[in-house]
Amino acid sequence: MSGQEFFQAGERVGVLTTQPLDRLLDYRAPEGGCFLGAYVEVPLGPRKVLGVVWGPGAGDFDSAKLRAVIRVLDVAPMRTEMRQFLGKAADYTLTPMPAMLRLATRAPGLSDPPSMRKILRRGEGVPDRMTEARTRVLDVLEEYGGLAFTPKELADMADVTPSVVKGLVKQGALREEEAPRDTPYPHLDPELPSKQLTEDQAKAAAVLAEGVHSKRYGTTLLKGVTGSGKTEVYLEAVAAALRAGRQALVLLPEIALTAEFLTRVEARFGAKPAEWHSGATMTERRRVWKMVGQGAAQLVIGARSALFLPFRDLGLIIVDEEHDTSYKQEDGVLYNARDMAVLRAAMCSAQVVLASATPSLETWANAEAGKYNRLDLTSRFGASVLPDMRAVDMRSEDLLPSTWISPTLKQAMKLRLERGEQSLLFLNRRGFAPVTICRACGAQVACDHCDARMVEHRFMKRLMCHQCGETKPVPEACPSCEVEGKMAPVGPGIERLAEEATSLFPEARIAVLSSDLFGSARALKSRIEEIAKGEADIILGTQLVAKGHNFPLLTLVGVIDADLGLQGSDLRAAERTFQLMRQVAGRAGRAERPGEALMQTFQPEHPVIRAILSGDEESFWKAEAAERQAAGVPPYGRMAGIILSGPDLAAVFDLGNAMARNDGPLRQIGAQLFGPAPAPIARVRGRHRVRLLVKAPKSVPLQEALARWTAPLHLKGDLRLSIDIDPQSF
């Protein structure tokens, strides 16, 4: 650890803790001293808390009363680049440092001493007799070569009862050993043969590899339609990082996709990488955290919070599906993982690859401005082509009331059934019907705690609030006028569409893919695998199906309501609709069979619908960019949302009005203030939410002005304030 600052025992150090305090605390360095960046346990009042040695002590605290660091944890000290990254991320998102440190130490049991566990290896003994179960156990060990497993893992993998394993131990065919619980990950080998890349792909891979070898910061937009081989290409950039002895991180937006991805990594590099997401067990998370810090995890596949892992030498970050809105964390620390990836890479001289078929306008504009490099994969791999896209003009289609599948779409589905191919109907609405209305008085059922309608879910026979998850039975009588038997569903949800598809095609096998219908990511994954094998004729899906699943037999995509995303005043609506529709259409015709996409719309002449159909992306982006530029909004201006919330609406508005009256710091930088107005979601879990929007020119110190504006506020009672830099909707 040469060159790193070291504090001798007894020296005064400043420690950043995870406790909500606005300053570092002074302690005496422990016996044996400690490095700058050391993870430590310190006394705070009667408690012990986790902290990091952040620098020398400030010295303004009485030396005689100074307490000592309790102990230094047995993990590598936080690197300087990581401390800088947390500091900059805190400044950018206006997040207090303790909250940043909490993000970076989300490994349960971090401060536990390294514990031991029992593992099994092949022993010398010969079993008295071989049963089929015993053979399976020994085969598993054989298959995994030198690896060792706990008794439970081994029994699970061989699919035998624990007693079979115990029996083999007793007879000496298995030998018990003690091993540290946190074991390194198996080695990934970049020299294993890769797929034969096409010329286009090979060129892109070479450019990315060159970036990795430069050991400098750089960001590249890797743009290519679904199926063009973006994943194959960036896996070669990962190989380049591994060859250079540096670590790589791949961020994925959706947990359901992880398993498929792990298999691909294993096929390329011979072993599975480390995984980091909220579904991982405590033990697994602690293992990842520690191994990443030691450099013993070469590659991590993770959700957005993986950016805050203590990599020892991070050389490459891939953000797959970079436009995906789930990269924006919407509670606690409000950050966009795509932007934080770029910041992190700049701190540690790493390369970033932003991969997408439909990049965000922000990323497109950065590439246009020359801040990011851009690589395009223009054709799909193999013979497959993009589907033929057409609008179905709903004004001239003959539909019965309460039906949504047009005759044109129905005809196309019938053709697929006859050919033994699959159709996918896309409707981005969970549940049976978006609205339940009383036909006597017109009242709708609303959530008791939120400003949202309750959505009927027939599958679970209840109404559900999509804001807070609260459910209640479908009422017999109207809650407002008390007339019985008049509550009726209005509009289509995915479950209702399934009913319609069933009545049109009673013989067809129909599968509904909606996140609320699956208890676990695993259940969803196995259903998707079945469908990919052809175990469904008609697939109905919400947003979930837009993302990366590969259904070889799928040749028709029907978008039930292409206009859905274009309603409302959100300035990002056009971009979202464009991305979603192109992604969904991209599901059809991935393999040898050409596909067709039909978009049902009442406004086929709408510029966004026209752009979707023509596929002329560059013109779409240029037009969209011009509009945003004229409005002075991101990425051509800066925005921040301030959400105020509390149980009493008047008090929340009073605070908002007071803030609006005292907006001097904002005016000084030429920023405009809008509101207070009810937030896009005006009430959640009984708390009223009011929003102020700040719009500022691109080059002004917005964060600093926001800090000066909000710092003098004293939030009384149950009032809360959170600042959202670059809000998703504006």
The site for Zn ion (CB under 5 A) is made up of 447, 449-450, 465, 467-468, 470
Q: Using CA atoms, how far apart are residues 119 and 663, in angstroms rounded to an integer?
A: 63
- The runs of H, that is alpha helices, within 333-373 are 337-347, 361-368
Q: Which is nearer to ligand ADP, 263 or 614 (CB)?
A: 263
Q: Which is nearer to ligand ADP, 182 or 321 (CB)?
A: 321
Residue 550 CB, nearest approach to ligand ADP (Å): 6
Burial of 313 (0-12, 13-18, 19+ CB in 10 A): middle
- Give how far Cα 545 sits from Cα of 33, 509, 514, 527, 528, Å: 55, 17, 8, 12, 9
Annotate 450-482 with DSSP letters as a single string: SSSBEEEETTTTEEEETTT--EEPPPSB-TTT-
The one of Zn ion, ligand ADP, none whose footprint includes residue 449, by CB under 5 to 8 A per kind, is Zn ion
The one of Zn ion, ligand ADP, none whose footprint includes residue 447, by CB under 5 to 8 A per kind, is Zn ion
Q: Which is nearer to Zn ion, 28 or 685 (CB)?
A: 685
Non-local CB neighbours of 45 within 8 Å, separated by 6+ positions: none
Q: Is 34 annotated as a binding residue?
A: no
Q: Are strands 554-559 and 596-601 parallel, antiparallel or unpaired?
A: parallel
Q: Which is nearer to ligand ADP, 225 or 445 (CB)?
A: 225
Q: Are strands 687-697 and 672-684 parallel, antiparallel or unpaired?
A: antiparallel
Q: What's the per-residue H, E or C state across 504-546?
A: HCCCCCEEEECHHHCCCHHHHHHHHHHHHCCCCCEEEECHHHH
Tokens 């520690």 belong to residue: 290
Residue 439 CB, nearest approach to Zn ion (Å): 24
| DSSP annotation of 252 | -
Between helix 132-143 and helix 162-170 the angle, nearest 10°, is 80
- The runs of H, that is alpha helices, within 270-330 are 282-294
The one of Zn ion, ligand ADP, none whose footprint includes residue 316, by CB under 5 to 8 A per kind, is none
Q: Which is nearer to ligand ADP, 198 or 729 (CB)?
A: 198
The one of Zn ion, ligand ADP, none whose footprint includes residue 17, by CB under 5 to 8 A per kind, is none
Q: Using CA atoms, how far apart are residues 230 and 304, in angstroms rounded to an integer?
A: 20
Q: Is 481 annotated as a binding residue?
A: yes
Residues in contact with ligand ADP by the rule CB under 6 A: 195-198, 201, 224, 226-232, 381
Q: Which is nearer to ligand ADP, 230 or 430 (CB)?
A: 230
Q: Is 348 annotated as a binding residue?
A: no
The one of Zn ion, ligand ADP, none whose footprint includes residue 646, by CB under 5 to 8 A per kind, is none
Q: Which is nearer to ligand ADP, 29 or 317 (CB)?
A: 317
Residue 229 CB, nearest approach to ligand ADP (Å): 3
Residue 449 CB, nearest approach to Zn ion (Å): 5
Residue 466 CB, nearest approach to Zn ion (Å): 8
The one of ligand ADP, Zn ion, none whose footprint includes residue 230, by CB under 5 to 8 A per kind, is ligand ADP
| DSSP annotation of 486 | -
Residue 367 CB, nearest approach to ligand ADP (Å): 17
Residue 478 CB, nearest approach to ligand ADP (Å): 49
Q: Using CA atoms, how far apart are residues 407 and 390, in angstroms rounded to an integer?
A: 14
**635 prior amide bond cis, ω within 30:** yes
The one of Zn ion, ligand ADP, none whose footprint includes residue 231, by CB under 5 to 8 A per kind, is ligand ADP
Handedness of CA 479, 480, 483, 486 (dihedral sign): negative
Residue 515 CB, nearest approach to ligand ADP (Å): 21
Residue 237 CB, nearest approach to ligand ADP (Å): 13
Q: Which is nearer to ligand ADP, 207 or 625 (CB)?
A: 207
The one of ligand ADP, Zn ion, none whose footprint includes residue 606, by CB under 5 to 8 A per kind, is none
C-beta atoms surrounding 252 within 10 Å: 25
The one of ligand ADP, Zn ion, none whose footprint includes residue 201, by CB under 5 to 8 A per kind, is ligand ADP
Q: Which is nearer to ligand ADP, 226 or 358 (CB)?
A: 226
Q: Provide the token pair at 460.
A: 């679970």
Q: Are strands 39-44 and 47-56 parallel, antiparallel or unpaired?
A: antiparallel
Tokens 């805190």 belong to residue: 90
As annotated, the binding site for Zn(2+) includes: 438, 441, 447, 450, 465, 468, 478, 481
As annotated, the binding site includes: 438, 441, 447, 450, 465, 468, 478, 481
